[in-house]
Amino acid sequence: MNYLVGAFKPPCNIFISFTDGRSRKQVPLKKENGKTVMVALFQSQENIVGEVVIEPIHGKKVEHNGVKIELLGQIELYFDRGNFYDFTSLVRELDVPGELYERKTYPFEFSTVEMPYESYNGVNVRLRYILKVTISRNYVSNIVEYEDFVVRNYTPPPSINNSIKMEVGIEDCLHIEFEYSKSKYHLKDVIIGKIYFLLVRIKLKNMELEIRRRESTGSGPNTYVETETLAKFELMDGAPVRGESIPIRLFLSPYELTPTYRNINNKFSVKYYLNLVLVDEEDRRYFKQQEITMYRNLEAS
């Protein structure tokens, strides 16, 4: 039995490393098996440079039809699991057909790589970047090794960032104005605003502000929408009176947010909303939702 197991083991080990791996920032990445590993962080237009080491297992030779490394940007939709849509695909040939008897090192470089989309692990979709090394072989399966890395792209602060002013009401019962100081926030920002009670004829008992993330995948009849409530922040406990104002100050840094993603490669979108919730004494709930734009600021990352 041990002999059979050994027969299916690849005859070599493959190691992929980045030239600046020791100094480059590492970030956590959750794998398919649920484990979290630390991987290298890049942004679009960077050079991705490193080396591949192939080490035959002692006493074995590796016959091959060539060795190559690919840099792939892929989107996987979970309702179509196993099918990857490549939006970035670069390849470098590392070796011509031949035989390997001993450890061999292959340098590689991908220059100013266009990586327009950020890495993302969502409810129904995953966007990933990988390096993939393939040793091609005749009659037996190819030997393949992967190395994940993460891409984050930074956006300068918007030149125009208008405030949000809205009204919510129930005729002759409730009239509220609320205001947020801006409509676009970086990931470590603070939401500042105020709520004014102009008419209160409903017995309210509390009010809270929620941050919601809405992920849309697919298109047409195959569109899947998942909404997560990422944060709940109590603004008021008790009944307000007419003329009262409630301040809002909500720090975003404790929450795992991403930038807003709009129609990424025609496959998915991720949007964020502020949802104001009022609850009366009979536990009826009143909502007012407003979309906000999230972006990744270099200083805040």
Q: What is the pLDDT along the chain (301 residues), one digit of tens a residue?
A: 344 444 568 889 999 999 998 999 999 998 877 789 999 999 999 999 999 999 999 878 899 999 999 999 999 998 777 789 999 999 999 999 999 999 999 999 999 999 999 999 999 999 999 999 999 999 899 999 999 999 999 999 999 999 999 887 777 777 888 899 999 999 999 999 998 888 877 777 888 899 999 999 988 788 899 999 999 988 877 777 777 888 999 999 999 999 999 999 999 999 999 998 888 888 888 888 999 999 999 865 5
Predicted local confidence at residue 31, as pLDDT: 83
User: What's the whole-model pTM score?
Assistant: 0.88
The set of residues, in sequence order, having a beta carbon less than 8 Å from that of 50 and lying 6+ positions away, is: 16, 17, 18, 19, 21, 107, 108, 131
Same fold, 2-151 and 164-300: yes
Predicted local confidence at residue 285, as pLDDT: 83
Q: What number does CATH give the domain 164-300?
A: 2.60.40.640
Q: What angle do CA 54, 56, 62 make, to 5 degrees?
A: 95
Spatial contact of 118 and 56, defined as CB atoms under 8 Å apart: no
Domains of the chain, by residue range, sit at: 2-151, 164-300
Predicted local confidence at residue 217, as pLDDT: 94
Mind listing the pLDDT tens digit for each residue in 150-208? 999 999 999 999 999 988 777 777 788 889 999 999 999 999 999 888 887 777 788 88
Q: Which pair of structure tokens corresponds to residue 115?
A: 């990586």
Backbone angles phi, psi at 105, to 5 degrees: -115, 135
Class for domain 2-151, per CATH? mainly beta
Which DSSP string corresponds to the chain? -HHHHHHTS-SEEEEEEETTTTTS-EEEEE-TTS-EEEEEEE-TT--EEEEEEEEEPTT--EEES-EEEEEEEEEEEGGGTT-EEEEEEEEEEEE-SEEE-S-EEEEEEE-S----S--EE-SSEEEEEEEEEEE--SSSPPEEEEEEEEE----PPPS----EEEEEEETTTEEEEEEES-SEEETT-EEEEEEEEEEE-S-EEEEEEEEEEEEEES-GGG-EEEEEEEEEEEEEES---TT-EEEEEEE-TTS-----EEEETTTEEEEEEEEEEEEETT--EEEEEEEEEEE--GGG-
Predicted local confidence at residue 286, as pLDDT: 81
Predicted local confidence at residue 154, as pLDDT: 94
According to DSSP, the β-strands at 190-200 and 174-180 are antiparallel
Residue 254 zone, left/alpha/beta (φ > 0; ψ -120 to 50; rest): alpha
Where do we find the tokens 């409530």?
Answer: 229
Spatial contact of 272 and 261, defined as CB atoms under 8 Å apart: no
Start-to-end C-alpha separation, the chain: 51
